[in-house]
Each structure stands twice: as C-alpha cells, then as structure tokens.
C-alpha cells in the first residue's frame, strides 16, 4: 500500500491481475489494422475562472472544459495546452464532456491529470443536455435542478471514463452520465490481434491499480458491447472509488502534549487542507459569585450549567485566504450537527480565533452536557466561521465537515465526569 495525497492506491495481487487481463482480453474487440477509425469533433480545451462560490467558502475555481472526441493525438494537444496555459491553482478542475475515443490517449491524459494534481468532474460548459439515464426514472427528469452557472450536466463515456480517473478529487453531479462499455481496439497487426488486445487489456488493469480504482470496475465494463454503455449508479461509483468523498476523517484518543492526560482528536482532510476537532475535559467548575437580587415580579434566571467538555476547532483556509487577514473579523461561530433536523448552534464570537503554528484559525468552545448528548447521536459534525461583511473580505464563510466517532466520544466523555 502507498499513498498519493489523501487517497490510498490499491495494488492488484498477481492472480487478480492475471484474471482481470483474461476477462478484459475476451471483452475487448480488435479491429482490422488497415481500417483506422475516423476522428471527428476532436476534443478541445477551454479555460474559465469562476468566483461565484468564493463568498461562500468554495474559493475561486479554475476550470478547463474538455469537450469532444478523444482522438489519437488528443493527449499531445492536451499537454501542449497545459504548457501554454499552466493551471493557475492546484485545484484546477478538468470538466469532461466526451463520448470517448482513443483508449491509449485517454490513459495518457489521465496520467497527465494525476501528475499535475488536477481534479476531474463530469459536466459541460453550456446547458445543452437535459440529463437523465437508466438510473433516473423518466418522470423524475423534469425535476432535476439546473445550475445557474457552469459546469452544467454532461456525459463521459468509453475512454473518457479512464481519463476521468486521473483526477485527485473526482465528482459527478446527479444527472450527469458516467458510462462504461467494452473497448474497441485497433490491432497493431493482422497476425495476432488477440495478443494485441491482451497487451492493451493489461495496460488498462495496471492503470486502474495505479489510480486507486477497484478492480471490480472491469466487471461493469464488460457488461455491454462496444456500442452500448452501462451508466454506473451513485452507489456503484462510490463502491468502485470512481468518485472521491468531500472529506476523510480519522479519530483517536491521544495523550496531551505534556503527558498529563488524554484528549479525543479528529483530523479531517479535504481539498483545502487538514482541519481538526479536539475534545478535552473541561476544567473543574469554580463557584460563581452570587447573582444580584431578582426584581419583584420577575422570574429568577436559571443558573448557567457548567461546561463538561471543551472542543477546539481548527480551520485551514488553504489557498482561499490568509488566516491572519480573517481572525479579527469573525462575527459568528456555527456548529453543524449531522444530517438530522437538529437546530444549528449559533454562538456569538466573543473570543476571536487565534492562528496556530499550521496557519489555521483555532477557537475553543465550552460544551454543556445537553450539547454533548446531541453530539453523541450524530454521525457528522461541522464548524463554520461567519465574517463581518463590512470587512470586505474575499469570503463570508469558512467551513469544514467531519465524520464523528460517537463511540469514542461517549467513551471519552465518560472519563470527564
């Protein structure tokens, strides 16, 4: 096992590799060597910058729209385009809208995308596709939402599906199509077309392993002949690792830096960086001063319950902004609680965040027992900082989401009573 960025790559065992090659070589149809396939509508590449989501924490997005057929020389055209138009940001997104085409060129472009650490998305520059496939009921198609700006719904078939796998982060919006089928290869010579298809099959299998894709991808590819496609469902896309999650979290109970105790730590990696949620036991409550006398006719205010846990949120702005420019303009903190209909917890930002040694905005918040009880029943937890609009910052919101290990939280919270 080894890693590239936040995602692990899966290596195929020798027996699995051999079996996959046999499966593929029987499913790939060789063509006559003296019959070159025509290539109309060659893939074009168009750069575009969007600032639409910048105010809401998505940052300025750099897109490259890749539209059209993947021709045998499309990889050379793509490399030349990147040389002349180097990506402006490490999170530049290649938006694919293609019927596919040449397999070798698709494989090469996928590797170029991975080497450049680019992202991929299925979509289109213009709203020219209604959307829908065999996984979406026909009556539901009129209810598919259409974005107000690109990327719009698109499709990625055949060798485009291989190119797509090169993205470090990979997304497919609902309504867009990702369709696989048996590949149609041109043989390199009339004497041994089967041997040629076996070699090219092995190249595909090795590529899948290189990109960290499940070898089960092949079983979906061979379901349809060269002229039909299998549109993968969202569940299948997840299971095969064709698409990537928005974040990954790792929770553990670890000793404090001074070895005087323990804390519960959740590190979350997303496209912007590494964020952190750390739970510690609240210090022993001190006896509060006696409240002032209650005026006649007014109900007495209930005493404020003591905090039982202290949670420290650390948010990495990444390339979106500098933490030092944001820290004095926080207007409000928001704790997001899972996918349930729980009220968002809005907290006035009485104490501004500080910047830690990793350049992250960090703030500590005391939690009452009632809040801890809510956290122990939610699978996800998020945190956001809302900034004062008068500050005229490039963004109004800085936010991240995380899994929440409720088992570890209950275990840790039990040690604090």
SS3 4: strand
| Residue pointed to by tokens 């996800």 | 380
* DSSP string for residues in 57-91: TS--EEEEEEESBB-TTHHHHHHHHHHHS--SSTT
Residue with structure tokens 């046999």? 22
Calculate the average pLDDT of the chain. 83
302 — pLDDT class (breaks 50, 70, 90): low
pLDDT above 60: residue 96: yes
List beta partners, residue 86: none
pLDDT on residue 3: 34
Positions of E strands within 271-353:
273-281, 309-315, 330-337, 345-348
**What average pLDDT does range 46-57 have in this prediction?**
88
Q: For residue 182, what pLDDT band results from cuts at 50, 70 and 90?
A: confident
- This prediction has a pTM of 0.82
Q: What pLDDT digit, counting tens, does each position of 339-370 carry?
A: 654 556 666 666 789 999 999 999 998 888 88
Question: How does pLDDT run across 124-141, given as a tens digit for each residue?
Answer: 999 998 877 778 888 888
- Do 275 and 318 form a contact (C-beta atoms < 8 A)? no
Residue of 285 and 239 predicted with greater confidence: 239
Contact 199, 25 (CB under 8 A): no
CATH code at 248-283+304-414: 2.60.40.1880
Residue-level pLDDT at 148: 86
pLDDT tens digit sequence for 198-228 = 777 888 999 999 999 999 999 998 887 777 8
- 5 pLDDT above the threshold of 50: no
* pLDDT band, residue 196 (cuts 50/70/90): low
* Percent with pLDDT over 70 in the chain: 80
The string of pLDDT tens digits covering residues 286-297 is 544 555 666 776
Residue 264: CB partners within 8 Å, gap ≥ 6?
251, 252, 253, 278, 279, 280, 408, 409, 412
Q: Where do the domains of the chain lie?
A: 2-239, 248-283+304-414
pLDDT digits (tens, 9 = 90+) for 141-169: 888 888 888 999 999 999 999 999 999 99
Instruction: Name the pLDDT band for 116 (thresholds 50, 70, 90).
Output: very high
Architecture of domain 2-239: Alpha-Beta Complex (3.90)
């Amino acid at each position: 096992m080894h890693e590239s960025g936040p995602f692990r790559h899966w290596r195929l065992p020798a027996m699995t590799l051999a079996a996959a090659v046999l499966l593929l070589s029987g499913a790939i149809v060789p063509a006559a060597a003296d019959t070159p396939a025509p290539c109309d509508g060659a893939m074009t590449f168009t750069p575009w910058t969007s600032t639409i989501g910048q105010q809401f924490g998505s940052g300025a997005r750099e897109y490259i729209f890749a539209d059209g057929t993947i021709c045998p020389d499309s990889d050379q055209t793509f490399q030349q385009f990147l040389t002349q138009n180097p990506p402006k940001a490490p999170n530049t997104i290649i938006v694919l809208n293609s019927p596919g085409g040449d397999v070798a060129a698709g494989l090469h472009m996928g590797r170029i995308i991975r080497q450049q650490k680019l992202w991929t998305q299925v979509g289109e520059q213009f709203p020219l596709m209604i959307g829908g496939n065999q996984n979406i009921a026909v009556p539901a198609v009129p209810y598919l939402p259409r974005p107000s700006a690109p990327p719009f719904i698109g499709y990625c078939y055949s060798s485009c599906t291989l190119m797509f796998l090169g993205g470090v982060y990979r997304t497919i919006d609902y309504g867009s199509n990702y369709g696989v089928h048996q590949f149609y290869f041109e043989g390199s010579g009339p004497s041994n077309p089967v041997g040629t298809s076996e070699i090219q099959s092995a190249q595909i299998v090795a590529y899948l392993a290189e990109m960290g894709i499940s070898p089960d991808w092949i079983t979906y590819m061979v379901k349809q002949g060269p002229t039909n496609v299998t549109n993968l469902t969202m569940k299948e896309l997840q299971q095969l690792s064709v698409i990537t999650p928005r974040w990954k979290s790792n929770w553990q109970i670890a000793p404090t830096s001074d070895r005087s105790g323990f804390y519960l730590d959740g590190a979350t990696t997303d496209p912007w960086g590494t964020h952190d949620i750390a739970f510690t036991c609240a210090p022993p409550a001190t006896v509060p001063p006696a409240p002032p006398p209650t005026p006649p006719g007014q109900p007495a205010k209930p005493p404020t319950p003591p905090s039982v846990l202290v949670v420290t949120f650390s948010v990495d702005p990444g390339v979106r902004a500098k933490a030092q420019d944001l820290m004095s303009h926080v207007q409000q903190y928001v704790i997001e609680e899972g996918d349930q209909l729980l009220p968002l917890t809005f907290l006035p930002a009485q104490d501004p965040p500080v910047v830690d040694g990793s350049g992250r905005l960090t703030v500590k918040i005391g939690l009452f027992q009632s809040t801890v009880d809510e956290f122990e029943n939610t699978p996800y937890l998020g945190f956001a900082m809302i900034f004062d609009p008068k500050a005229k910052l490039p963004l109004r919101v800085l936010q991240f989401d995380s899994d929440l290990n409720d088992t570890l939280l209950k275990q840790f919270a039990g040690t604090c009573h």
